[in-house]
Amino acid sequence: MADLGDLREEYGHDSLSEDSVHPNPVEQFRIWFDHAVDKKIPEPNAMSLATVDETGQPWQRTVLLKAYDDKGFVFYTNYESRKGKQLAHNPKTCVLFPWIQLERQVIVTGSVERVSTSESLKYFASRPFGSRLGAWVSQQSSVVSSRSILLAKFEEMKNKFKDGDVPLPSFWGGYRIVPDTIEFWLGGKSRIHDRIFYRKASDGSWTIERLAP
Ligand SMILES: Cc1cc2nc3c(=O)[nH]c(=O)nc-3n(C[C@H](O)[C@H](O)[C@H](O)COP(=O)(O)O)c2cc1C
């Protein structure tokens, strides 16, 4: 059996400096994201999304980043899911990109807003037929008594929308995470890791600080 205490990697193949990072963290994210894509790590756009429920209990799940720019980071989901209800109550969130193979992680904090219906529609229309049907089939996060019920619902929806024209469900769409802070973490030798922390000021500019690892 593996001794977890002995599982240890020595990091430190690259370095990250507050003087050389891009002044705009979204552009710095672009540099790192493109690198992650180039390195062919599995699902580089998978991010762990944290929300908090009404009792203060945090929850997490993986979602896929589908767009990003200076306005924020966009993912798509069911607005009536557990995360959707939690975000309606408390729009503050945190996402983490776990690019472990690259000895990197990026953490974004901020608040969500819904993307426009036209933006959701555009993305929804680009999804394969089965994925569009899937959005109609699943009342995400509700209890289902069996898998066969979902499969039957899938067949029902397949039949209903057999002409291939699947409308955007009113309960499905995108959220944009408008960032307040973005941290870039890079593994360093002897646990002297680099942490470059951007914080958005009230005038919209970004301050850059180094955090202790
Ligand atoms: C790799 C991966 C990607 C996923 N992408 C999404 C996604 O983009 N949107 C989504 O709603 N769920 C996605 N899921 C499923 C979620 O992790 C989660 O099970 C679902 O959204 C329900 O979460 P909730 O009950 O907390 O709302 C993904 C799961 C994995 C493992």
Helix (H), strand (E) counts: the chain: 5, 9
Ligand 1 geometric centre to CA of 188 (Å): 31
> How confident is the model over 144-172, as a mean pLDDT?
95
- The C-alpha atoms of residue 13 and residue 52 are separated, in whole angstroms, by 36
Average pLDDT of the chain is 95
Choosing from 47, 52, 64, 127 the residue with most ligand 1 atoms within 8 A of its CB, the one to mutate for a pocket test is 64
Q: Which residues are near ligand 1 (CB < 6 Å)? A: 43, 46, 59, 61-64, 75-77, 81-83, 140-141
**Could you tell me the residue ranges of all domains in the chain?**
18-125+171-210
157: left (phi over 0), alpha (psi -120 to 50) or beta: alpha
Ligand 1 geometric centre to CA of 62 (Å): 5
pLDDT per residue as tens digits for the range 19-55: 889 999 999 999 999 999 999 999 999 999 999 999 9
Name the catalytic one among 132, 191, 199, 210.
191
Statement: residue 172 has pLDDT above 80: yes
pLDDT per residue as tens digits for the range 123-135: 999 999 999 999 9
Ligand 1 geometric centre to CA of 165 (Å): 24
Q: Work out the percent of the chain whose per-residue pLDDT is above 70.
A: 100
Helix spans in 39-172 (H) = 82-89, 117-126, 129-137, 147-160
**With bands split at pLDDT 50, 70 and 90, how would you rate the model's confidence at 6?**
confident
> Which residues are annotated as part of the binding site for substrate?
8-11, 66, 123, 127, 131, 191-193
- The C-alpha atoms of residue 65 and residue 45 are separated, in whole angstroms, by 5
State how far Cα 129 lies from the chain centre: 23
Report residue 107: phi and psi, to 5°: -125, 125
**With bands split at pLDDT 50, 70 and 90, how would you rate the model's confidence at 15?**
confident
- The C-alpha atoms of residue 142 and residue 94 are separated, in whole angstroms, by 23
Report residue 79: phi and psi, to 5°: -65, -20
| Contacts within 8 Å (CB) and 24+ apart, 122-126 | 123/66, 123/67, 123/76, 123/174, 124/76, 124/168, 124/172, 124/173, 125/168
Statement: residue 13 has pLDDT above 80: no
Choosing from 48, 62, 95 the residue with most ligand 1 atoms within 8 A of its CB, the one to mutate for a pocket test is 62
Which pLDDT score, from 0 to 100, does residue 2 have?
Answer: 81
Q: Given 3-state DSSP classes, what are the helix, strand and coil percentages for the chain, each rounded to the nearest 5?
A: 30, 35, 35
Confirm if 186 and 197 have CB atoms less than 8 A apart: no
Ligand 1 geometric centre to CA of 194 (Å): 30
Type of residue found at 193: H
List the Cα angle 99/105/108 in 5-degree steps: 125
Between the alpha carbon of residue 143 and those of residues 57, 81, 131, 139, 156, the distances in Å are: 20, 11, 20, 9, 19
- CATH 2.30.110.10 assigned to domain 18-125+171-210? The reply is yes
30 is catalytic: no
Question: DSSP secondary-structure letter at 191?
Answer: G
Which pLDDT score, from 0 to 100, does residue 12 have?
Answer: 76
Q: Work out the percent of the chain whose per-residue pLDDT is above 90.
A: 90
